Copies of this chain bind each other. A is one copy, B any other.
Amino acid sequence: MIIKINDYSDVPIYMQLRNQIVMGISSGELAPGEQLPTVRALALEIGINTMTVSKAYQILKSEGYILTDRKNGARIRPEIKKESELSEENKNELMRIISEAKISKIDRESFIRTIEDMWK
């Protein structure tokens, strides 16, 4: 899986990394149980600090996306358990985006079409 970091984004690097791994899981590119690179290897590959990768892994672990053990490193959790609801943060973000879309005179139908395209 290819990770792309934008050094100039407002989104911190560890969060960009976390997001891309989550998206990889969601798309199926990262399979349940799949081994992730070691912190060191991934840091080297992307050209970022090991601390940054470590932080991303810790967040993914605390969110229940990955498992880590000393022997095998990190891997995608075979059975990810999540509430079948959006988090409050995500609801807020959605509301903000929808508000901006409405002000931009994007109509509801084309907005939903965008969502449907993204869902695939």
Q: Please, which residues of chain B bring their CB within 8 A of the CB of A112?
A: 112, 115-116
Nearest chain B CB to A22 CB, angstrom units: 6
- 8 Å CB contact of A100 from B22, B96, B103, B104: B22
Q: Please, which residues of chain B bring their CB within 8 A of the CB of A12?
A: 70
**Are the CB atoms of B68 and A94 closer together than 8 Å?**
no
| A-B residue pairs in contact (CB < 8 Å), sample of 25 | A7-B71, A8-B68, A22-B99, A22-B103, A23-B95, A23-B96, A25-B99, A26-B102, A26-B103, A62-B62, A82-B103, A82-B104, A84-B106, A85-B104, A86-B104, A86-B106, A86-B114, A87-B100, A91-B114, A98-B119, A102-B119, A108-B116, A112-B112, A112-B116, A115-B115
Q: Which residues of A contact B (CB under 8 A)?
A: 7-8, 12-13, 19, 22-23, 25-27, 62, 65, 67-71, 80, 82-87, 90-91, 93-106, 108, 111-112, 114-116, 118-119
